[in-house]
Amino acid sequence: MINEQNIRILLKNRPNGWPTEDDFEIEVSQIPSIKEGEILLETMWLSLDPYMRGRMNDAKSYADPVQIGAPMVGGAVAKVVESRSPMFVKNDIVEGRIGWQKYAVSSGIELRTVDKSLGPIQTAIGVLGMPGLTAYFGFLDVCEPRPGDIVVVSAASGAVGQVVGQIAKIMGCTVIGTAGSDEKIKFILDELGFDYGINYKSEDICESLDKFCPDGIDIYFDNVGGELTDAVMDRLRVGARISVCGQISQYNNSQLQLGPRNIGSLVRSQAKMEGFLVHAYSNKYPEGLDKMSKWIKEGKLKYKEDIVKGIENAPKTFIGMLNGENFGKTLIKVSDD
Amino acid sequence: MINEQNIRILLKNRPNGWPTEDDFEIEVSQIPSIKEGEILLETMWLSLDPYMRGRMNDAKSYADPVQIGAPMVGGAVAKVVESRSPMFVKNDIVEGRIGWQKYAVSSGIELRTVDKSLGPIQTAIGVLGMPGLTAYFGFLDVCEPRPGDIVVVSAASGAVGQVVGQIAKIMGCTVIGTAGSDEKIKFILDELGFDYGINYKSEDICESLDKFCPDGIDIYFDNVGGELTDAVMDRLRVGARISVCGQISQYNNSQLQLGPRNIGSLVRSQAKMEGFLVHAYSNKYPEGLDKMSKWIKEGKLKYKEDIVKGIENAPKTFIGMLNGENFGKTLIKVSDD
């Protein structure tokens, strides 16, 4: 550790539209020292998630923006390399909002110890962490699935979408996933057991929806927004439920769009569209984790990770993810286990 | 009755965009005769409602379009002038989907007898009929109001909006209404007890909302759509509920709009937007009527009607209503009581 240095990825500029690598600064510095009550963390796994694009803007949202010059925010799994806190001992594995930095000082507050018996430690920021819990509550609580429901999931091979589709199958629904490559479609069909897949880049979405769900759609789990949402809104069945989880197709719009259009389709179908944040369910996280880790052990719930090594690759990997270049849950492997 | 003739308003053309009087045909014909089991109705009051614009299109909706050459659909209060049915006797007052016609033959199915003790008979197609029930269930069931909630109601002096705002006051909410003239605003403030009013034609909606509800909006009862919805979506509080009742600002768009934009605001605020049709609550109508007639008798619920005489004036009155020229619930007085 003596010869090592810290690497932190700082927000340099607020992007106007698509971010570029120039919007990030890779800062090399000394490993910080800790005071009484603090711990020093070495990041092992960093999660990259679409919501981070929102934090780069200086705009009203459900969380504060990242300040210029500050490390990018993000969930990570880290090892305690030094502790002057009674809460943690050296070599503990923890998860929390550690940010894009190789070494970090923490008071230990808001960190949780990773339960290694549930799965590989990086699942604590994947299928058994925020993205998985988002899928679990955003689908089960907001969409209230019933056996036989026709479910459309966008970004179906992504961190959240892959879990939503599999839970929908566990619940007895018919599941249509959309993704941006034939490889991803093959994966959700062959590996995850989705019923149908639509490659939105090569297929006519409306035609494919009419083919796979001629009688309409009961549930739409929306990670993407944009044209797919347009197509789904026009095909809602009576009493449809739309869980608005993400709108990745819209995050890099430099001009703010105006409010909703074509809302009449909600009236025609007496449908409900609900935005949600996973934090609202924090008191039910243990239930969700319990259920999902059981499903994983029973082979009913699989997960796919897209792993890139080296924290210095976080900016370009993040930009690629916003462009759909990832395949599965995007993780940066910062340190070896 | 011997010398009288029937007048029926038929759909002549499907309008592209705004309807004109030329899209309707006023047909004068003989009063029809009835067979065994039928009744002859003389329409006394005809309700004009924004939803009728949708019926003029040959488009997928929750109800079938009016056929070219057929009478326009619509709720009405009528007197039984001749009966060969055991269900009704002469001079009974009934309410049902009788359409834009002075005399109509009916089997009596789907007609309900008007309870004159509840209020003037035309309230059966107003505050104590479809518009009032739409307000009652669309607000209480979909919006789940709590005392102290900040409520925005569009088309606030209209048939539905005036009832929503008053029920919101009964429930202890703070109510902001929007309407298109100073006279309407004065009415909702002075007569109906709304807390604030915004004349959307003369005021900057965003500025006025920021003034009247600087901390945001809990409930939006949406009769109108369009720019007001844009402004409200940007000011939703966490857990907001949007009841999508109508979208009158959009009914005359000749080009179909694409799906919703700016849905990210639902996520930020974890808000719910739900379309509804009053028919879904038909098994609870007695409860709604009971409650509302009680409120009317207690002076807690008032209603304003905009009455035009003569069924031949229905087309131009309907077009004017779509343009906001009505003031209160639009009714055509077809026959004298």
Look at residues B94, B77, B98 and name the one whose alpha carbon lies nearest to residue B85.
B94
User: Is some CB atom of chain A closer than 8 A to the CB atom of B202?
Assistant: no
Q: Per-residue pLDDT tens for B242-280?
A: 888 877 676 666 655 555 555 666 666 667 777 767 777
Q: What is the pLDDT of residue B63?
A: 77
Which of B:256-275 have CB within 8 Å of A?
A: 256-275
**Can you give the residue ranges of every domain in chain B?**
6-126+303-333, 130-281+290-295
Q: Per-residue pLDDT tens for B147-167?
A: 999 999 999 998 899 999 999
DSSP letter, residue B71: B
pLDDT over 90 for what percent of chain B?
46
Chunked mean pLDDT (size 10), chain A, 337 residues: 79 90 92 95 90 84 86 92 94 93 91 87 88 90 94 92 93 96 93 95 96 94 84 85 78 58 62 72 78 82 81 84 77 80
Compare all CA atoms of chain B with the CA of A234 and give the residue at the minimum distance.
B259
C-alpha A123: how far from chain center: 12
Q: What is the pLDDT of residue A244?
A: 84
Q: Do B6-126+303-333 and B130-281+290-295 agree at the fold level?
A: no
With CB atoms and an 8 Å threshold, state whether A262 touches B257.
yes
Separation of alpha carbons A43 and A99, rounded Å: 9
Query: CATH second-level architecture of B6-126+303-333?
Result: Alpha-Beta Complex (3.90)
B155, B179 Cβ separation under 8 angstroms: yes
CATH topology of domain A6-126+305-333: Quinone Oxidoreductase; Chain A, domain 1 (3.90.180)
Strand order in the sheet with B150-153: A196-199, A174-179, A150-153, A217-222, A236-244, A272-275, B272-275, B236-244, B217-222, B150-153, B174-179, B196-199
Classified as helix, coil or strand, B184 is helix
Mean pLDDT of chain B: 86
Say which residue, B304 or B88, is predicted with more confidence. Answer: B88
pLDDT over 70 for what percent of chain B?
90
Domain boundaries A130-281+289-295, CATH class: alpha beta
With CB atoms and an 8 Å threshold, state whether A260 touches B256.
no
Separation of alpha carbons B186 and B199, rounded Å: 10
Q: What is the pLDDT of residue A2?
A: 46
**ipTM given for this complex:** 0.70
Q: What is the pTM of this model?
A: 0.80
Q: Per-residue pLDDT tens for B203-239?
A: 999 999 999 999 999 999 988 877 888 888 888 888 8
Task: Enumerate the residues of chain B whose CB falls inside 8 A of the CB of residue A258.
Answer: 227, 230, 261-262
Chain A nearest-CA distance from B247, in A, is: 6
Separation of alpha carbons B166 and B292, rounded Å: 11
Partner residue opposite A275 with nearest CB, options B60, B246, B271: B271
Q: Per-residue pLDDT tens for B315-329?
A: 888 888 777 787 777
With CB atoms and an 8 Å threshold, state whether B61 touches A268.
yes
Q: How many residues does chain B have?
A: 337
Q: Testing the interface with A: which of B143, B238, B273 to mutate, by most A Cβ within 10 A?
A: B273
Chain B nearest-CA distance from A325, in A, is: 22
Instruction: Give CA separation, A4 vs A28, A31, A41, A325, in Å.
Output: 10, 7, 14, 32
Q: What is the pLDDT of residue B257?
A: 56
- Of 3.10.20.440, 3.40.50.720, 3.40.50.300, 3.40.50.150, the CATH number of B130-281+290-295 is 3.40.50.720
